[in-house]
Amino acid sequence: MKFMIDAGHGGKDPGAVGNGLQEKDITLKLALRIGELLTARGADVRYTRTNDVFLELSERAKAANAAGVQYFLSVHINAGGGSGFESFTYTGSSGATLAYRNLIHRHVAAEFSKVGLSDRGQKQANLAVLRETKMPAALLEYGFIDNGKDSTLLKDPGFIERLAASTANGIAEAFGLPAPQQKDDVSDWAREAWDWAVASGITDGTRPKDAVTREEVVTMLHRLMKK
């Protein structure tokens, strides 16, 4: 599956601001982490931006359309005196677009509920990134940057991680993605070689996903030459 994660705003456009926060910074953290979690489930994840740059709304939609992704998710932080979480699809959307969004919304809203913040509902609006994308798409508003309680939570890395995880879990459920591969799991393509290396005493069988030092490389080569 191929997804596009859109971190709202960026560059000269900070988005909503309040309580020492800028929307563009939070959305980028969320978008990148959501993408990492989906990648761990085997998804092909693209991003409209991976750093602090400005993009027109039409550029974001065009990038998703050109990449041929199956789903487009735009990440935002709200403002205007409210509190809590809400999500949007394009006006008049139906079918898969609503079904996917509803699953994602349920997962994320549950995290807001745990900290006493409200579920503001599943809505529709004529938003450019939803209107101009050719695939099912949703826009999520993760709390209010100008609300004291919301902003305090948005400053908490643990809360950001839970929001990213709940979003990725919702997308994974919607699209039937497999469970994330654990760091210490050996990839299927490497299993035969790994088992041989362990049985031969070349490696101890731990840390299959870790990078190796030069010392470890020469040690394994030395063990191999002694066989």
Question: Is the predicted pLDDT of residue 136 greater than 70, yes or no?
Answer: yes
Give pLDDT tens digits for 207-226. 777 777 888 888 888 888 88
Q: Which of 52-66, 83-97, 102-116, 177-191 has the lowest mean pLDDT?
A: 177-191
The Cα 172–Cα 31 span in angstroms is 15
Q: Closest by alpha carbon to 174, among 73, 90, 92, 93? A: 73
pLDDT at 141: 98
Residue type, 113: S
pLDDT at 173: 97
Using only the alpha carbons of the chain, give its radius of gyration: 21
Give pLDDT tens digits for 6-47. 999 999 999 999 999 999 999 999 999 999 999 999 999 999
> Would you list the domain boundaries of the chain?
2-175, 188-226
pLDDT at 12: 98
Q: What does pTM read for this prediction?
A: 0.81
Q: Is 155 left (phi over 0), alpha (psi -120 to 50) or beta?
A: alpha
Q: pLDDT-based confidence at 125, cuts 50/70/90?
A: very high
What is the average pLDDT across 73-88?
97
Place of tokens 């971190």: 7
Question: Is the predicted pLDDT of residue 184 greater than 80, yes or no?
Answer: no
What is the average pLDDT across 132-150?
98
Q: Is 111 a catalytic residue?
A: no
Q: Which one from 23, 132, 141, 215 is the annotated catalytic residue?
A: 141
Place of tokens 């004291």: 148
Domain 2-175 matching CATH 1.20.140.10: the answer reads no
* Helix boundaries (H) for 40-78: 57-67
pLDDT at 182: 64
Question: Is the predicted pLDDT of residue 165 greater than 80, yes or no?
Answer: yes
Q: Is 203 left (phi over 0), alpha (psi -120 to 50) or beta?
A: beta
